[in-house]
Every structure is written in C-alpha cells, then in structure tokens.
Structure 1
Amino acid sequence: MQFSPSGMSEIKNSAIKKVFFGHEPTPELCAILTVYLVQGILGLARLAVSFFLKDELSLSPAQVSALMGIAAIPWVVKPLFGFLSDGLPLFGYRRRPYLILSGLLGAISWFSLATIVHTAWAATVAIALSSLSVAVSDVIVDSLVVERARAESQSDAGSLQSLSWGASSLGGLVTAYFSGFLLQHFGSHAIFAITAGFPLIVSAVAWLIAEEPISDRPDVSTVANQIKQLGKAVSQKSIWLPTAFLFLLQATPTADSAFFYFTTNELGFEPEFLGRVRLVTSLASLIGIAIFQRFLKAVPFRTIFTWTTIIAAGLGMTTLLLVTHTNRSLGIDDRWFSLGDSLILTVMGQIAYMPLLVLAARLCPPGVEATLFALLMSVTNMAGLLSHELGAVLTYWLGITERNFDHLWQLVVITNLSTLLPLPLIGWLPAGKPETEPSGEMPSLQPSSAIHIQSAPIQHRERSFVPDFLPELIPTVDEPAD
C-alpha cells in the first residue's frame, strides 16, 4: 500500500495536531518533553522509598513527615534556582548546563541510596539531593515552556502545558505498576539502582536545547532589572491575592502519613497492589488532562475551583468507609474501593490544576521567566509543607501510631472539611477564562490575571507539592510541568 506525498503530509499534520497538540516536534521540544517524561518515570522509586523508610529504617509516621519536610526544601527555594538560571549563565548558557548538572546529581543520589545509605540521616541527605536534582531541572524546563507558551495563539492557549503534563503523566504511567512489582520481587535497593540511570537521560537531552551563548559574566544592570521586574510583578494584587488564596487552600492539614501506615499495616496492601494503584492514578491523570483540554478550557477559574473543592471534600469522606471497614459490610473489597477512590479524585485534581498552568505562563515577563514562575510555585510548595506538618501534629494529638488507628476517622473528617475553609475567599481568584488572557505582557491590575500552583487544591492528590519519587504517603488516593 502506497501513500501519495499529500497523503503522507496529511497523516503527519494529523499526528502533530493530535499527539503534539499542534506543536512542531522539533528536537528541542522532544528534549523538553523527555525531561518531563523522566520526572514521571522517577515515580518508579516512590514505593521503594516509602517501604525503605518504614521497614528497613523503621521510621515512625512522625519521623517520615519530618524527613519529607527536609526533602521538600529545594521545592520551597525554587526561586533561587530560577534566579541563578536567569542571571548566572554557566559556560555561556543559561539553561543547558543546569540541566546537565541536575541529571548528574540525581544519578549520584539514587546510586548512593542503592549502595551506601543505611541510616536515617544518610537517607535524608540522599533523598534531599534527589529532590534538589528534580527541582533544578523542573525550573529549567518550566522556563523553557513559559518562553514558548507566550507565543501561542489564543486558540492554542494551554496546549503546551497540557502536552508537558501529558509527558510527565505518561512517564508515571509507564513505571506505575512496575514500581510495586519490582519492589516486591527484587527489593528497594535494586529499584534505586535502576532509577539512578534515568537522570542521566536528562543530562543527555540537554544538548538538544536550542540556546544562544551569552556572556559568562552576568550584567549587573540586567540582574538589577530582573529584580525590578520581579518586584513589580509580585506587588500586584492580581498576583498576590490569588497566591494568598491558594496558599490557604494548600495549607490545610493532610492525613497522608497516617493513611499510608493504615493501608500497609492495617489493610495489608502489598507493594505490587500499590503499584496497581499508581497505575490507575497515572491513567486518571491523563484522563483529567484530556477532559480539561477538550471541554473545560473556557470555564472560569472560580467555577472550577469552587465545584472541584466541594465535590472532592464530599468524595473524600468516602474514605471513612475504608477506615471504619464499613465497605466490607457493603460487600466492597478494600482493594476495589481504593482503586475507585484513586481514579475519581485524581481526575478531579488534574482538572483543577490545568487552568492555572495556562495563565501562569502568561504572567511571566521576559527575562525572569524561571524566577517568577518558581517564586509563585514555592509559595504553594511551602503551603504543602505546612499541610504535612499540621497533619503530623493532628496525628500525634489523636494518638495515631504505626498500629493504633482508632481515631483515624477523626483525622479524615478534619482534613476533608478543612479544605472548605478558604472557599469564602474564592473572590481572590481571577474571574476570567484562560482563553481570554493576554500574552507576552505584564498583567494589569484587572481581575483577569492568575498564578500557578504546584499541585491541585484537593487533598490526597497524585500531584503532591513534592516530586513523585518521594514517599508514597497516601497510596489509595494516590508536581511536572509546573
């Protein structure tokens, strides 16, 4: 069967439109998507880290929460990496060398976990360095996406962010099931050794980034201008009001740590099954992206946030059926219940997240893309850190331990209802639609501007405020393009 040149051209154009959302698959775009893909693939080690900390190092839920806080620090100080990338070129380039170094750091960190890490302190350092590796690469590719998203037409608004998130979700999907299967059959150290190879892919594709060399010496006036632009951006009500709202929404307490111990110690979920849960949530994430891209791109922010938060709080209460074992009385197996819960909540979380990605790119002025993007993100990352710490305090106050889950139902009620508390302030979010936003200019003080968050405003989300390889703290309900 032969195809005419026009037929081949039609097939190519159709593939570009459907697979790449209309973007030409240049080597640079493929490199950017590969970095996001690797971020998703790093989820291969997520369960291994969780069980390594719980079983091999015998850490308690409170200790794991403390470690999570330290590992999340690179994601809180991401503006620093953005500022360095924007204003301090290495060997004449602003992006490429940082990607190469981040990949090397990630490989070293994971190899250390596989070979020489045997104490809690050593594990904390290694995991924190792994987190640093992903945070740096995330800042770089985010800035590249922001630069290119600004040139999108109004009809294509958000397509590049959707494509990036799709690549990350695809990476998570590829390794989701195997994260549990390999852990159950080969152990955590083997998983860490395998994972160590993937960051090197980031170092390799960095050479495909199309970047013009600039002076190795940063221009003082340029740096001063960056700071001035950054100050001008963050001082506007149209930016800091939505940021404050999202901080409050993201800072509500979470039951993640206690719930992980409940599902493994009380319900007996083994690694292989938890891998299936990750497979379901990875698929759900892709479904959420597709739903937003197809049906919800024009829905106002306030509408999406209000209804997804309310519905998620209600659906989150269904976890009480699992905690109290009522699902068994209803004839629903623990595993089937967990899978269904994961699917629904992850789809909603992704839908709530996507519209903010669209406007985030359009807020960043030329020259400080990475810095402003990372600064806005770090605020909600800090809120996520506070969320885990508040959850740890509540877990301690309620007397929930590795084996005592008598008051876990109270923790579930508190964490779900608390997500509703910021809703009276929903007016702080922009009333506009993603497709109506201007591009390439600084936002005005009109209420049509928005900001970006690192994770959805729904508790127990696959997209945590920390990278996907960090401990699987809530496997039953289950951060990249940002």
Structure 2
Amino acid sequence: MKSISCFGVQLTPDTIAVAMVYFVQGVLGLSRLAVNFYLKDELHLDPAETAIISGVSSLPWLVKPLYGFISDSFPLCGYRRRSYLVLSGLLGAFSWSLMATIVDSKYGVAFCILLGSLSVAFSDVVVDSMVVERARGESQTVSGSLQSLCWGSSAFGGIVSSYFSGSLVGAYGVRFVFGLTALLPLITSAVAVLVKEQPLHGSARGLILSDSTACLGSSKNSLLQLWDAVKQPNVFLPTLFIFLWQATPQSDSAMFYFITNKLGFTPEFLGRVKLVTSIASLVGVGFYNGFLKGVRLRKIFLVTTVIGSVLGMTQVFLVTGLNRKFGISDEWFAIGDSLILTVLGQVSFMPVLVLAAKLCPEGMEATLFATLMSISNGGSVLGGLIGAGLTRLFGVTKDKFDSLTFLIILCNLSSLLPLPLLGLLPENTADDDSDIEMKSN
C-alpha cells in the first residue's frame, strides 16, 4: 500500500495525531468572536473589563515550562504524552460546556476561559515535545517538513474557524458557538490513541513515580541550569528587549466596542474580517521567509515598529470618519486596514521567534525556548492590562468614545518606546539558513 505524504512528511498514525492537535489549536479560534460579543452584549462589560479578562485568560501561557516538567516527570496511567492529551481535551471540553450552559457572570467567564487556555497551553507543550522527539536525529529537511505540517495544520484550522465564527454567532447565538467549541477539544482526546508511545511498566514506571527525592533533585538542577542560561548577558538583555517590546499598551478592546456599537459592524462581517486577517498572517510569514530572513534583527525591529506605529494611526481615520470623506466605506477601510496591519504584525513577530531560537544553548533548547516565549507572552499580557488601565483612564466605555482617538494615538506612539534599547539585540542577521516555524496563540 502506497504511503500518503503531506508537506513531505509521511502520514503515519503518529504524525496524524500531531497534525490534528495543531489543527484543533487553530480551529478553537471559533469561539473568540463569540466571547467578545458575550462580554459586550450579555454581560454588558466595558472595554477595560473585557481587556482584563482577556489578559487573565492568557496566564496559563506564562508557565509553559512547568507543563513540560509535569509531563516528563509524572506519567499518568503509564503514559507521558497520551494521558495528558486526553486530559487536556477533556478539560477544554468541560470549560466550554460550562460557557454554553451555566456561566452567567464575568468571574465565571474568566475562570472558564482560563481553564480552556490551560487546556490548549498544556496540549501545545505536549505536542511540541513530540515534534522535538520526532525531529531529533533527522535531517534539517525532514525537521523543516514536520514543522511545516504542524504550522499548516494550525493555520488551516484558524482559517476554517474564521470563516464560520461570525456567521454562526449571527445565526445561532453565542451559547450555540460555545457548545460547538466544546466538541473540538475532544478531537485531541480521541487522537491521543494514535500517539506512538510505549507504556511505562514495572520498574520503569515505579522508578519515576517513587523516587521523588531524585525527581526533585533533578528539577533543582534543571532550574539552576535554566537560571545560569537566562542570566547570561547575551540571553538576558535580548529577552528584556522582547519583553518590553511586547509590553506596550493595546487598544484592541476599545476598538472592538467602537466598531460594533458605534459603526454597527455585524458578527458576520467581523467573521469575514477575521478570515482576511488569518490569510494575511500566512502572507506575512511567507513574505518574511521569502525576503527578510537575511536582514539584521535590529533593522527589522526598527523598520517594522516605526511603520507599524504610523499605520496604526490609520484607525483614527475610522474613529473620526475621515475615510468616508475620501469615499471609502467603513467596511472596506476596516478590511484593508486589518489586512495591512496583520501582515506587518506577522513580519515583525517572526524575528521574535528567530531570536528566541538563536538564544538557546545546546542541550536545553526546548526548556529555554519555552521560557523565553513565556516571557514574551508575559509582555503581551502586561501590555493588554496597561491598555485596559489607559482605556479606563481616558473614560472610554461601551457607549462613550470621545477620547478613543487620543487612546489610539498614545498606544501607537508608545510602541516606539523600546527602540532606544535596540542595542540590547545581537548584531546579526535574522536567519542564516534555518527554516522558521510560526505558531501564534
């Protein structure tokens, strides 16, 4: 029987399981638009409160190395990978089932979204470790093909969810979308049986579970090695820049309230915008890999940050209605603006992944990379919380947008603040000859 390949990778049951988990991560974006409308229309929260809940839901992504340690050190039912994939899927299904049925307060929503985020983050770490294990000892071509399969699966899931997210909210309501979303993590649980993993029996299993002293000692040594690596100036200083670069405030929640409450954008239309931005993100990755891999990191950060700050100001046109004076409708302007900013955003984020990968010393690549990305995610969470504080400070609410223009200008100008610290970055090209894997959460 002839084997089937995708992205140059033979589709064995094991690789199908990995690809399906990444697909689920992408398609779970189905609920994102529904959550925003639920917080705005049914719980009647202000933009600042919505931004805070969004930041809280990202907290599980800040401790990704912990999940890797748990999965490696404490097997469930004799398995390090299968059992945790099953558990992650069940946790995700449970959290979205609660959202679809009994949750009716902002605290309940925050808790359920937090559980759902934990489910995705844990499964992400598990399949990342599986990819590392499969790629170990393989050629760069095979490794790159495996990464392409993972990213392609996630991107396809994101595009599918973008296409249906808005229309489902408009036709059936947010509770229906939450219920549909609850079914998706069960795919992760189901494909866990395809994972090729030998169960730990007898002495091997007992050794891991019983020798807690040795386990704690090994953990302490790993933490010391991690700290020794992070505190090195060639790692700490670039990491500090990434954190500060990600920690600049954002006005996304305030803009969502404006375009829905003031401009009257429907869920169906916003779903189409989300589809455009999902495709645009792929364009951004392709543009980076095709034209910018040999450009110095400092130059990419400088140019993309300045251009992003300038183009981000175009949202002021939408807020003030200036686009209509040029004969451009709000809908078309929003689509074009989102497309351009998404491409630029992906191009500017790719060097973060490249830099994080280059900072990892041999022997602890996976742990340090997860740590650096957790720090980067921490910067994004902080930026969202600062944005929430500024939104409240400027008095922007669900039906008052008098100061939204000033909020947008301040947030965009603040993105320039880390530029004087560009000297913290290494003086080298973005990528010499390696393939880049792009994974967004």
- TM-score, structure 2 normalization: 0.89
Cα contact 1:86–1:370 (8 A) shared by 2: no
Distance 1:399 1:232 in 2: 45
1:269 aligns with 2:265: yes
**Contact map agreement 2:162 2:271 (CA 8 A) in 1:** yes
Relative to structure 1, the CA distance from residue 387 to residue 428 in structure 2 (aligned partners, 3 Å threshold; closer, same or farther) is same
Q: Distance in 2 between matches of 1:434 and 1:145?
A: 23
Alignment-derived partner of residue 78 in structure 2? 92
Measure, in 1, the Cα distance between the counterparts of 2:372 and 2:438: 7
Partner secondary structure for residue 183 of structure 2: coil
Tell me the residue number matched to 1:121: 107
Match of 1:42 among 25, 28, 52: 28
Q: 2:317 aligns with which of 306, 318, 321?
A: 321
Of 239-248 and 423-432, the range deviating more from structure 2: 423-432
Match of 1:380 in 2: 376
The amino acid across from 2:63 in the alignment is V
Amino acid at match of 2:169: L
Q: Which moved more, 1:22-31 or 1:48-57?
A: 22-31
Q: C-alpha deviations, 1:325-378, integer Å up to 9, x for none? A: 100111101110111111111112222233443564565568866543332122
Matches within 5 A, 1:47-196: 47-148=33-134, 151=137, 153=139, 160-196=146-182
Equivalent residue for 1:349, pick from 340, 345, 353 = 345
Q: Whole-Å Cα distance in 1 between the matches of residues 395 and 13 of structure 2?
A: 54
- Residue of structure 1 equivalent to 2:233: 237
Check conservation: 2:21, 2:127, Cα contact below 8 A. yes
Change in 2 beyond 3 A, CA 1:369/1:34: farther
Q: Secondary structure at the match of 1:77?
A: helix
Of 272, 296, 301, the residue aligned with 2:297 is 301
8 Å CA contact 2:285–2:438 kept in 1: the answer is: no
Normalised by the size of structure 1, how large is the TM-score?
Answer: 0.82
For each residue in 1:237-281, what CA deviation from the matched residue of structure 2 results, as whole angstroms up to 9, or x when unmatched?
222211100111111111111111111111110100000011001
Q: Quick one: which amino acid aligns to residue 309 of structure 2?
A: A
Change (3 A) 1:87 1:299: farther
Whether the 8 Å CA contact 2:356–2:373 is kept in 1: the answer is: no
- Equivalence for 1:460: none
Q: Do the aligned residues in 2 keep the contact of 1:373 with 1:452 (CA within 8 Å)? A: no
What is the match of residue 415 of structure 1?
411
Q: Which runs of 5+ in 2 are unaligned?
A: none
Superposed CA offset, 1:205-258 (max 9, x none): 223333344534264353344223322322222222111001111111111111
- Partner letter of residue 120 of structure 1? K
**Equivalent pair of 2:350/2:438 in contact (CA under 8 Å):** no
Q: In percent, how many aligned pairs have the same letter?
A: 54
- Distance in 2 (CA, whole Å) between partners of 1:303 and 1:154 is 27
Partner residue in 2 for 1:203: 189
Instruction: Let me know the Cα RMSD of the aligned residues.
Output: 2.8
Task: Give structure 1 stretches of 5+ with no counterpart.
Answer: 440-450, 455-462, 464-478
1:389 paired residue number: 385
1:99-144 CA-to-partner distances (Å, cap 9, x unmatched) read 1111100001111111111222222221111111111112222333
Q: What is the letter of the counterpart of residue 381 of structure 2?
A: L
CA contact (8 A) 1:300 1:431 kept: yes
Cα displacement string for residues 141-160 of structure 1 (whole angstroms, at most 9, x for unaligned residues): 23333445565656778655
Matched, 1:227 2:213: no
2:279 to 279, 283, 295: 283
Cα distance between partner residues in 2 of 1:71 and 1:119: 15
Q: Distance in 2 between matches of 1:76 and 1:326?
A: 40
Deviations 1:165-207 (A, max 9, x none): 3322211101212100011010011111111111011112223
The code of the aligned residue for 1:203 comes to S
CA distance in 2, matches of 1:274, 1:327: 19
> How many pairs does the alignment contain?
431
SS of equivalent to 1:299: coil
Structure 2: distance between partners of 1:194 and 1:121: 22
Q: Is the 8 A contact 1:113 1:123 kept in 2?
A: yes
Q: Which residue type is aligned with residue 169 of structure 1? A: A
CA 100–118 in structure 1, closer or farther in 2 if over 3 Å, else same: same
What is the Cα deviation at residue 28 of structure 1?
Answer: 2.5
Residue type of the partner of 1:244?
L
Moved more, 62-71 or 150-159: 150-159
8 A contact 1:356–1:453 mirrored in 2: no
8 Å CA contact 1:161–1:358 kept in 2: the answer is no
Selected match of 1:254 from 250, 259, 263:
250
Is the Cα–Cα contact under 8 Å of residues 154 and 435 in structure 1 kept in the other structure? no
